[in-house]
Amino acid sequence: MEALAAEINRHLRLYHVEDRPEISDAEYDRLFGELQALEEAHPDQVAPDSPTHRVGAPPAEGFASVAHRVPMLSLDNAMDEAAMRAFDERVKRILHTEEPVAYAAEPKLDGAGVELVYEDGHLSVGCTRGDGRVGEDVSANLRTVLDIPLDLTSDPPPPARVSVRGEVVLPVAAFERLNARRLERGEEPFANPRNAAAGALRLLHKIDRERLRALRFYAYALGEGIPEGAATQTRILATLASWGFTVSPDSARCDDVEGAIAYHARLLERRNALGIEIDGSVFKVDSLALQEDVGALPRTPRWAIAFKFPPQQETTVVERIEANVGRTGALTPVAVLRPVHVGGVTVSHATLHNQDEVTRKDVRVGDTVVVQRAGDVIPQVVMVVTDKRPRRTRRYRLPKRCPVCRTPSVRLEGEAVTRCPNVDCPAQLKNNVRHLAGRGALDVDGLGEKLIEQLVDRGLVKRLSDVFELDRDALLELDRMAEKSADNLVAALDRARATTLERFFIALGIRHVGSGVAELLAAHFGDLPPLMNATREELEEVPGIGPTIAESLAAFFAEEHNRSEVERLLAHGVRFEVTAPRVAREGPLVGCSLVLTGTLEGLSRDEAKARIEAAGGRVTASVSKKTSYVVAGAEPGSKLRKAEELEIEIVDQAGLEALLEG
């Protein structure tokens, strides 16, 4: 029991203090359950400081401690329906009733539990749960989370002192974006959204605004300040919403335990559609009076339970490691796994991202590994169970040559990715053709996977633009190509030739250029040549285009090969309509940037913006040294003061008209 407690304490610290767990949650729950069972069998041997008596971990050094006036409890787990029914039975036994008990049902959000204290409606302190009695003051970081209200404005006003509890989570999409960027920079990706969220809150010195801004807060409980008349958990959630909080999504009231079990099953179905990570459902006796009657243990209430989902993590064995060649030539190591069921799907492959990640995790062929699925994320190898490593294994290294075209692979100084530098490498080409033919790009009906394989393997398509050279005779040489299908494909290619500028940009397969970016570029430039000839600096000027995308575009069009591919696509009849660029390339305001403040008479902000852009100027949101003019209408805001400070020329509405006239 002592050894088990020590082991659990170590994992608690890794999880709560260092934000870098070494074992899966399921594995942790197993260890914890084992200790609980032993303590039940030997109550006289229970250590007073046993981890079963507390939640989380004490506050880390560096943060001020905040005592929770009402302890923040943890939740007991139910792993299956039987355990849920046993929980319900116990509640009824304590209440001496046979009547059904109603439960408030919520998703169990997988993030960091926090408490926000409001005094006279103003946020005074925000803290972590810590060990349930004392948490860490992370007010500064919590204040930057967008949906945490700094003031509670409601009618009637909230009680003088309230403590709102809830979960800070990082949405899955933001998590993936964040990790993609980290990988690109050669940094270690976060293990899961929860660690990324908890870690951001507990950064002491280097505040990570980007990460904090992506966080969401969902309220689900009140510590202090339960208003008169809030008799149920359901009412508490409604009250929290009326104070301006986003409450736990998908909450519901269940009439009895069977309703709760049905809720859980429905939630599991929707699990991957929620956009945030949840690891089960939580059921709370709905009536607050009954909650009190049922009571609490030191660590957990008896009136609530977490019904956990089956784990999204499992262990399996790495059978091989392959290097996949992507559309941009990136060599991605992929672990081929002994198939295993994880969260309802069979997983047989997991990405290992890049060489640094393989090295860091030291994944080897033959290793037993923990694999994880999160939301709709590609399965990942969380870690190696080194105890189970067979003898005579070797470290894995990405191949020195592209596995497809045998060109020596390269890894540039300071980059995380290893690439095949051959742009006509069949692997890249197949991916590029697939991309070009895709729905969002030129949408070539009938140009599918198998056909692309054959076209590239037989040498009919040696470069991207060759796709539009395919004719009936060439197609009929292929296996199982009937005359009808050949005709259909020729017709589909013909339809695909007439496209839009935006789709054409997408079709080129430039890194980081998806539909959103392509739309911005098409609207901004209106035609191909100005984009192809734009410098990196000019590209960065386009609203919504950052340095990474600008760099990628400039690098793409700097390659002679790519420019000639564009020419060849056009020569093969691919065409689009040229539109007027949003910002005119000629006019009195070319090269000028303007800031609008206050109201203009008879001219809406959008109209003013459109007219400035038609005259070649740009409208930006804030005043900087680069601003050419600040247009001040009636009741101007702080931008006017800023303009005065920076000595920027200020014009009124008549002045604007004069500028537009030239």
| Catalytic residue numbers, as ranges | 108
Of these, 282, 290, 330, 455, which contacts ligand IVH (CB under 6 A)?
282
Q: Is the dihedral of CA 74, 79, 80, 82 positive or negative?
A: negative
Closest residue by Cα to residue 542 from 577, 569, 559, 517: 517
Q: Which residues within the stretch 44-63 sit at the binding site for ligand IVH (CB under 6 A)? A: none
- The span from the CA of 540 to the CA of 224, in Å, is 50
**304 part of the interface to ligand IVH, by CB under 6 A:** yes
* Residue whose CB is less far from ligand IVH, 19 or 367: 19
* Residue whose CB is less far from ligand IVH, 202 or 353: 202
Q: To which residue do tokens 């056909």 refer?
A: 451
- The span from the CA of 23 to the CA of 13, in Å, is 12
Nearest residue to ligand IVH on Cβ basis: 113
Consecutive H or E run containing 305: strand 304-308
**113 part of the interface to ligand IVH, by CB under 6 A:** yes
- The span from the CA of 281 to the CA of 260, in Å, is 9
- The span from the CA of 454 to the CA of 621, in Å, is 52
Residue ranges of E strands in 112-257: 112-119, 122-128, 134-136, 161-169, 216-222, 252-254
The distance of closest approach from Cβ of residue 289 to ligand IVH in the complex, given in angstroms and rounded to an integer, is 16
Site map (CB under 6 A) of ligand IVH, residues 207-236, x = contact: -------------xx---------------
Are 91 and 102 contacting, i.e. CB atoms less than 8 angstroms apart? no
User: Judged by CB under 6 A, how many residues of this single chain contact ligand IVH?
Assistant: 16
Q: Which residues within the stretch 464-493 sit at the binding site for ligand IVH (CB under 6 A)? A: none
Of these, 57, 73, 267, 347, which contacts ligand IVH (CB under 6 A)?
73
From 4-12, 71-79, 197-205, 459-467, span contacting ligand IVH (CB under 6 A): 71-79
Beta bridge partners of 109: 278
Q: Which residues within the stretch 132-171 sit at the binding site for ligand IVH (CB under 6 A)? A: 167
* Residue whose CB is less far from ligand IVH, 237 or 452: 237
What is residue 407's DSSP assignment? P
The length of the chain, given as a count of residues: 662
Alpha-carbon separation of residue 485 from 341, 451, 471, 476, 573 (angstroms): 39, 11, 12, 9, 21
The distance of closest approach from Cβ of residue 76 to ligand IVH in the complex, given in angstroms and rounded to an integer, is 8
* Residue whose CB is less far from ligand IVH, 106 or 466: 106
**104 part of the interface to ligand IVH, by CB under 6 A:** no
- The span from the CA of 460 to the CA of 315, in Å, is 44
Q: What's the angle, vertex CA 521, arms to CA 516 and CA 524, rounded to 5?
A: 125
The distance of closest approach from Cβ of residue 72 to ligand IVH in the complex, given in angstroms and rounded to an integer, is 6
The distance of closest approach from Cβ of residue 164 to ligand IVH in the complex, given in angstroms and rounded to an integer, is 12
From 106-114, 516-524, 564-572, 576-584, span contacting ligand IVH (CB under 6 A): 106-114
**87 part of the interface to ligand IVH, by CB under 6 A:** no
Of these, 75, 382, 398, 583, which contacts ligand IVH (CB under 6 A)?
75
3-state secondary structure of 295: coil
Of these, 306, 506, 534, 632, which contacts ligand IVH (CB under 6 A)?
306
200 CA to centre of own chain: 14
| Chain contacts with ligand IVH (rule: CB under 6 A) | 73-75, 106, 108-109, 113, 129, 167, 220-221, 248, 282, 301, 304, 306
